[in-house]
Structure 1
């Protein structure tokens, strides 16, 4: 697929290990693409769940995908501060339909005050058993949780306020043309 340009809109599709579609975001504005990463923004974006439920995102969110890391990051910009939702997932692939990845259940949530929580450990254990996740997946995911925690602790990339300010400014420029 042709790489999307800044200002283009792309869909995001999250799958589960068994190949089932998990969640879809209809329109994410692309803010930057490079060889290894895509940065975008969701704002009032329609989200469809695997069970058909639909909802719309309530606040702007900067999304970060990388080709070499087994996580993606959603920085939700709220009046109370930035909250992060980090999905442990395969590196993204891009095709003519969407940005795609396999979601591996584990999530790290970071609150505006810096508190971190590892979520959905039970769901991960249940799916791991049900779908026979290979041991390598478990190793890769646990390593990437450590990388993510390191990024959070050091304010690296999406976890820095300067990063959020830069990409929100770019989103505002592109969306008001």
Structure 2
């Protein structure tokens, strides 16, 4: 597995368990790249859905991917604070073409006051049956929901007080 180069743009490819493409983010600037961790930044990037529809993100965002965690985190900088969207997913891989992961439906939305909601449990159950998620994957994902909730409550990693602001400042240096 390669390592994305800091300051360079990278695409992000999200797949479903059955191998089909789910979503592509056209361009994210790599702010930190290693075998274990990729932190990126983007603003008004084009997103292409599996059906070909496209849309543009509305605000700056800092992305967090870890090779040992079954989730990734997007911190979105809005006027009224930082919102987080957390995808339960496979750990990322980077193959030189794009940063890739499997999206496992469950999401956690975190608000600026650090309250949160677990989303898409019905979609997860439907896809778990349709795509035959193996029992070990089901257990890993449930464990990682708990881990993610601990991170939120403990303000760990991307949820730490200044994390998003610090990485956003770094992102702005690459945009100049």
Instruction: Tell me the TM-score normalised to structure 2 length.
Output: 0.97
Query: Aligned residue for 1:23?
Result: 23
Between the aligned partners of 2:154 and 2:163, the Cα distance in structure 1 is: 13
Query: Aligned residue for 1:58?
Result: 58
Between 1:108-117 and 1:60-69, the stretch displaced more is 108-117
Tell me how far 1:2 sits from its aligned partner: 4.6
Contact 2:4 / 2:94 at 8 angstroms: preserved in 1? Answer: no
Query: Aligned residue for 2:139?
Result: 139
Query: Aligned residue for 1:77?
Result: 77
Check 1:68–1:2 CA distance in 2 against 1; reply closer, same or farther (3 A cut): closer
Dislocated runs of 4+, deviation >6 Å:
none
Query: Aligned residue for 2:163?
Result: 163
SS in 1 for 2:100: strand
Between the aligned partners of 1:80 and 1:167, the Cα distance in structure 2 is: 18
Tell me how far 1:173 sits from its aligned partner: 1.1
Contact 2:2 / 2:94 at 8 angstroms: preserved in 1? Answer: no
Q: List per-residue Cα deviations over 1:14-62 (Å, max 9, x = no partner).
A: 0001000000001000000123100001111000000111001110000
Q: What count of residue pairs does the alignment treat as equivalent?
A: 176
Query: Aligned residue for 2:117?
Result: 117
Q: Which runs of 5+ in 2 are unaligned?
A: none
SS in 1 for 2:132: coil
Instruction: Tell me the TM-score normalised to structure 1 length.
Output: 0.97
CA RMSD of aligned residues (A): 0.9
Tell me how far 1:160 sits from its aligned partner: 1.5
Tell me how far 1:5 sits from its aligned partner: 1.9
SS in 1 for 2:162: helix
Query: Aligned residue for 1:173?
Result: 173
Q: Which runs of 5+ in 1 are unaligned?
A: none
Give 1:81-120 correspondences, 5 Å limit.
81-120=81-120
Query: Aligned residue for 2:129?
Result: 129
